[in-house]
Amino acid sequence: MRAEPQSFDRVLSSMCTEPHPAAREAAERFLATNPGDPGTYRTVADLEDDAIATLGEIAGLEIDAGRDGNGDGEHGEGPSGYVTSGGTEANVQALRIARGRADDGSGRARPTVVVPESAHFSFHKAADLLRIDLEVVPTTAARRVDLDAVRACVDENTAAVVGVAGSTEYGRVDPIPELGAIADSVDALLHVDAAWGGFVLPFTDHEWHFGHAAVDTMAIDPHKMGQAAVPAGGLLVRSAALLDELAVDTPYLESTSQATLTGTRSGAGVASAVAAMEELWPDGYRDQYVRSQNNAEWLASELEDRGYEVVDPVLPLVAASLPTSLFEALREEGWRLSRTGDDERVRFVCMPHVTRERLEVFLADLDRLTAE
């Protein structure tokens, strides 16, 4: 096998990026370990505890370790969760927790979960798998969830309300504290999808995490803005009791229960997440956020100067209306670009590998193609 992976030089569409060198090295070292069997692979199991502790710190869980969302009046005992294969698994598992908690065995109507229309398609997979009815609610002109619409559709069947903190298409952050209050009013869980946004939001004024609101579960992925190797997603829960909703007995393993969705898991993902966070949290991530956000604002203004309509980059993600012919010509030049679901806008995800120099090369190509 002599194939080389594609270079990141022209990738503007991806939420993955070049892993930090320390993350790459750790991934290689732990390639053959399985955190799914912590009794056998103890070092990587300990590393997973470190990963969850740091993810908890990033997501405000530590600050708030005394609050407990499961309603039993007991205090939480600090960060709890595990390293998933990605945001999809974290979202599926969060909804599984919510469904398990809502199902009191009385055979009442199917549980519902309220998601904004801006939510990632993984929630549709989760709903299908779990036999949950999704209530998809619209977003406002600011591309954040419409709170009145959420209020209008929650009831005693609502198992969870979902808020997105860094939406896939426009990088928008839903009003998380308000969603928490609505979820509380019907005794539903609040799940926050910060799969992409979780490693930039700590350096902004947005209220998005466990310390800001009654958040019960969260997706936060080291393999996106966290600069870890794939696969390294994150599921965080407010209290260990919520994770117990997922536990199944594992009689023949050295450990006696497992809350993860997959069995054998990548030790490479876990080790690389720890290595990346050790290197970068908090200063390296802050510097990266500043660089990425500046690049996004610079690209937005350059595109605006050329007459294109641009959606303001709240986080480092620019969406701009480029003509289809130009979009296709740029793709022909090797630029990896993708469009929003309605095909109206091209998304530029300003990941760490998207440097100012690479954006300058991109704009030079764009100018050449529009002059032709």
Residues making contact with ligand 0PR (CB under 6 A): 14-16, 86-88, 91, 120, 122, 164, 168, 193, 195-196, 219, 221, 233
One-letter-per-residue 3-state SS of 169-211: CCCCECCHHHHHHHHHHCCCEEEEECCCHHHCHHHCCCCCCCC
231: preceding bond cis by omega (within 30 degrees):
yes
Residue placing its CB nearer to ligand 0PR in the complex, 218 or 329: 218
Residue placing its CB nearer to ligand 0PR in the complex, 29 or 353: 353
Minimum distance, C-beta of residue 98 to ligand 0PR, in the bound complex (Å):
16
Q: Using CA atoms, how far apart are residues 145 and 174, in angstroms rounded to an integer?
A: 6
Minimum distance, C-beta of residue 302 to ligand 0PR, in the bound complex (Å):
23
Residue placing its CB nearer to ligand 0PR in the complex, 91 or 295: 91
Q: Using CA atoms, how far apart are residues 127 and 112, in angstroms rounded to an integer?
A: 9
Burial of 177 (C-beta count, 10 Å sphere; 0-12/13-18/19+) = middle
If residue 87 lies in a helix (H) or strand (E), which one and from where to where? helix 87-102
Minimum distance, C-beta of residue 20 to ligand 0PR, in the bound complex (Å):
17
Residue placing its CB nearer to ligand 0PR in the complex, 15 or 243: 15
Residue placing its CB nearer to ligand 0PR in the complex, 70 or 292: 292
Minimum distance, C-beta of residue 318 to ligand 0PR, in the bound complex (Å):
14
Please give the structure tokens belonging to residue 113: 């979960």
Minimum distance, C-beta of residue 231 to ligand 0PR, in the bound complex (Å):
7
Minimum distance, C-beta of residue 319 to ligand 0PR, in the bound complex (Å):
12
Q: Which of 115, 161, 154 is nearest to 137 (CA)?
A: 115
Q: Cα 119 to the chain's mean position, in Å?
A: 11
Residue placing its CB nearer to ligand 0PR in the complex, 70 or 88: 88
Residue placing its CB nearer to ligand 0PR in the complex, 168 or 258: 168
Minimum distance, C-beta of residue 208 to ligand 0PR, in the bound complex (Å):
12
Minimum distance, C-beta of residue 141 to ligand 0PR, in the bound complex (Å):
21
Residues linked to residue 192 through DSSP beta bridges, in sequence order: 163, 218
Phi, psi values for residue 190, rounded to 5°: -110, 120
Q: Which of 232, 234, 221 is nearest to 82 (CA)?
A: 234
Question: Please, which residues have CB within 8 angstroms of residue 328's CB and are 6 or more apart in sequence?
Answer: none
Residue placing its CB nearer to ligand 0PR in the complex, 120 or 206: 120
Q: b/e per residue, 95-119, with b = 16+ CB within 10 A?
A: bbbbbebbeeeeeeeebbbbbbebb
Instruction: Transcribe 236-285 into DSSP letters.
Output: EESSHHHHHTT-EE-TTSSSSEE--SSSS--HHHHHHHHHHHHHHTTHHH
